[in-house]
Amino acid sequence: MDRAPYASDPALSRGREFRTESGAARGPRSAFQRDRDRIIHSIAFRRLRSKTQVFVSPDGDHYRTRLTHSLEVSQIARVLARALRLDEDLTEALSLGHDIGHPPFGHAGEKALSEAMAHAGGYDHNAHGLRTLARIESPYPEHEGLNLTWETLEGMAKHNGPVAAPNWALRDIDEAYPLALGQWPSLEAQIANVADDIAYDNHDIDDGLRAGFLTLDQLLALDFVADQWREVERRYPTAPRDRQLRELIRTQIGLMVNDVIARTGAEVGGLASADEVRDAGRQLAGFSPGMAAQERQLKTFMYDNLYYHPEQLATAEGARDVIARLFVAYRQDETTLPRAWREQLPAADPERSRHICDFVAGMTDRFAIEQCRRIYGMVPEGLSNV
């Protein structure tokens, strides 16, 4: 593999938290390939297929979920990693695992758990993703968690940058297996993060248009989008409108990807190792200043017109109510928990609430709705708005 000097090298990995005695060689895979495969084969990853991306419990099969979003992030991140001669397997592992900590109903569910866990250290989806893969998801006889490499855990912990004030979940893992939280992570982690931005910036537009929450006229108020739309119309004047819109999305993704490759390549050209990336003291992978300004404008537009759309907010409130009700039920009556979770329920807080939070956070949208109906005999109306 033609790996750049600043790329992460699996042969130089800092290793795994737990040393194992297993000598089984399950195929000719690098350490980072094994991390990627462990994430893909995890139960937590499979549950992403029924967790909210933008729309809560969508009736349509064409809307994105956390699973399809993660796959799209992975595709974009692999393109970036290959162009920059990074380790594609580590980049892919981080992309596929980056949303595993999200609870049901997306940010509405996270808000409910943050409120419910205020007395027990709070809730953060990024830290919970690390907790899920390093502690909760435990298929192996020799240790808890998936025992991922240091580089994968580091990238998940810090893909948004250094962490100055980790919450309890991340702090517990860092104390057991220090992840250098004050440093910037690898370029692979930085690339996975910017690929996430590119994916949801553009794919959420696609879903918003499909659902009727956004209109083309609204989008064309953005000069960046209007420029691309005029080019699409010039090149494909007779194409059906839906195909033109999909071409618009592809065009924008391509422009962002090419911009990141050019900008990041210029930033890292003189670096001689992955450690120099961490010691740089700043983010090295990202957009050029001009593209960054356009991307911020696009994000503002999406919050104003899609994420904070009145129907979205009403649905989110119903979803928040479901999670809040479930947490209260499990706290007040432990018999409402499944036997396996009830048998491991700690006697006192904060561990007791954290155990309940682990259970609730792992739910899919569908399972949370079913549990609310089972316990309360009802669920709030309007939990699907598309």
Residue 292 inside a domain? The answer is: yes
Instruction: Kindly state the percentage of the chain with pLDDT values over 90.
Output: 89
Burial code (b: 16+ CB inside 10 Å, e: under 16) for 121-150 equals bbbbbbbbbbbbbbbbbeeeeeeebbbbbb
Q: Mean per-residue pLDDT for 178-197?
A: 97
Candidate from 178-187, 246-255, 265-274, 373-382 with smallest mean pLDDT:
373-382
Q: Confidence band (pLDDT; 50, 70, 90) for 56?
A: confident
* Domain hosting residue 297, numbered range: 187-311
Residue 350 inside a domain? The answer is: no
In this predicted structure, the answer to whether residue 58 has a pLDDT above a threshold of 90 is: no
Q: Confidence band (pLDDT; 50, 70, 90) for 10?
A: very high
Domains of the chain: total: 1
Q: Which residues contact 240 (CB under 8 A, 6 or more apart)?
A: none
In this predicted structure, the answer to whether residue 305 has a pLDDT above a threshold of 60 is: yes
Residue 114 inside a domain? The answer is: no
Q: Confidence band (pLDDT; 50, 70, 90) for 383?
A: confident
Task: Give the position of tokens 């000069």.
Answer: 223
Determine contact, residues 295/256, Cβ cutoff 8 Å: yes
In this predicted structure, the answer to whether residue 23 has a pLDDT above a threshold of 90 is: no
Residue 258 inside a domain? The answer is: yes
Residue 269 inside a domain? The answer is: yes
Q: Mean per-residue pLDDT for 328-345?
A: 97
Residue 255 inside a domain? The answer is: yes
C-alpha distances out from residue 88 to 3, 98, 107, 186, Å: 10, 15, 29, 12
Q: Mean per-residue pLDDT for 232-252?
A: 97
Residue 297 inside a domain? The answer is: yes
Say what the pLDDT of residue 122 is.
Answer: 97
In this predicted structure, the answer to whether residue 217 has a pLDDT above a threshold of 80 is: yes
For the entire predicted model, the pTM comes to: 0.95
Tokens matching residue 188: 């692979």
Q: Mean per-residue pLDDT for 64-84?
A: 97
Looking at per-residue pLDDT, the higher value among 328 and 1 belongs to: 328
Residue 266 inside a domain? The answer is: yes
Tokens matching residue 206: 């696609």
Task: Give the position of tokens 């706290």.
Answer: 331
